[in-house]
Amino acid sequence: MKAARLRPSPLLGASASEVAHRLRGARRLLLLLDFDGTLAPLRPRREQARLPSKTGALLNRLARHPRIAVWIISGRSLRDLRARFGRSKRIHCLGVYGADGSAGAHPAMPAGGLDTPSRRALRTALRALSRDVANLAGVWIENKRLSFALHYRGARAREIRRARVMLDEALRPRGKWLRVLAGKKVWEVLPRAIQGKGAAVGALARSTPSALVVYIGDDNSDEEAFRALKRGITIRVGGRGESRARYSLRNPAEVCRFLEFVAAESD
Ligand SMILES: [Mg+2]
């Protein structure tokens, strides 16, 4: 499927009956969800992001359903996600674009973990950038162990330009091992060995071939997942312009309403 203009919401519009029909016909459902901007509204700082209580209650209800498996797949670290979803043992979490999982569950990570040159490149780039951006207002680094993120939400244009130059300089000698994934007000620095959300959701879908896969996400990193799930129900949140996703929802509040719709169609 080529990238196409998104179909407008409200709540899937004319496609609602087509989606309801597929949900009702599914023997198993694999519900794969991004976190920031998808389940939780984006906030000025990442630590302020909160899962709306209604969405949390719905996810717990869906995860208890015998035919439904719920996975959260985010750029956040597994530890961060666990702190948010840890009380529900039924909700599975994968951090760092699918590479950070509990034992036996990190489908985007190469077997045996990250190789030594990748680890070394990540460590030295992180050290160099931490020093370089220390005095740039509104720019800060989040170390996620398997990757790091350079955040610039709240920074002025001049600081953002300088941060980008510093990022490019830090990565130039390490381009063989590291890549940049541009997200919303963030540059994620990932080892090339970590394949990202497309590989993660592809592996999950293959592990349950009889399942209908639903994937919902709002950012560039989610496009890899949309591309990998050609037969699934793929939904882009809040996007304007082009997407590989088949459907669209406008915001996390509509995602919550869609999850209600899934729960109703699955009962
Ligand atoms: Mg997101």
Evaluate the omega torsion of the peptide bond into residue 66 and state whether it is cis, within 30 degrees of 0: no
Q: Which of 229, 216, 215, 118 minimizes the C-alpha distance to 174?
A: 118
53 exposure class (CB count in 10 Å sphere: 0-12, 13-18, 19+): exposed
Residue 27 tokens read as 């023997």
Between the CA of 99 and the centroid of ligand 1 the distance, in Å, is: 16
Q: Are residues 239 and 175 in the same domain?
A: no
Domain end point (choices 191, 220, 251): 191
Helix, strand, coil shares of the chain, percent, nearest 5, are 40, 20, 35
CATH number at residue 15: 3.40.50.1000
Between the CA of 18 and the centroid of ligand 1 the distance, in Å, is: 26
Residue 193 tokens read as 């060995």
Output b/e per residue, 155-189; b: 16+ Cβ within 10 A: beeebbebbbebbeebbeebeebbbebebebbbbb
- Domain count for the chain, please give it: 2
pLDDT digits (tens, 9 = 90+) for 132-179: 999 999 999 999 999 999 999 889 999 999 999 999 999 999 999 999
Residue 171 tokens read as 């990565």
Residue type, 212: L
Domain end point (choices 163, 191, 219): 191
pLDDT digits (tens, 9 = 90+) for 199-220: 999 999 998 999 999 999 999 8
Domain end point (choices 191, 214, 246): 191
Q: Are residues 180 and 125 in the same domain?
A: yes
Q: Are residues 234 and 255 in the same domain?
A: yes
Between the CA of 76 and the centroid of ligand 1 the distance, in Å, is: 10
Between the CA of 219 and the centroid of ligand 1 the distance, in Å, is: 5
pLDDT digits (tens, 9 = 90+) for 48-102: 999 999 999 999 999 999 999 999 999 999 999 999 987 777 999 999 998 888 6
Between the CA of 21 and the centroid of ligand 1 the distance, in Å, is: 27
Q: Are residues 100 and 201 in the same domain?
A: yes
Q: Are residues 234 and 250 in the same domain?
A: yes
CATH number at residue 127: 3.30.70.1020
Q: Are residues 94 and 217 in the same domain?
A: yes
Between the CA of 210 and the centroid of ligand 1 the distance, in Å, is: 27
Domain ranges, residue 142:
116-191
Q: Are residues 43 and 72 in the same domain?
A: yes
Q: Are residues 182 and 214 in the same domain?
A: no
pLDDT for residue 1 = 43
Q: Are residues 54 and 162 in the same domain?
A: no
Q: Are residues 84 and 98 in the same domain?
A: yes
Between the CA of 39 and the centroid of ligand 1 the distance, in Å, is: 8
pLDDT digits (tens, 9 = 90+) for 29-43: 999 999 999 999 998
14 confidence band (pLDDT: 50, 70, 90): confident
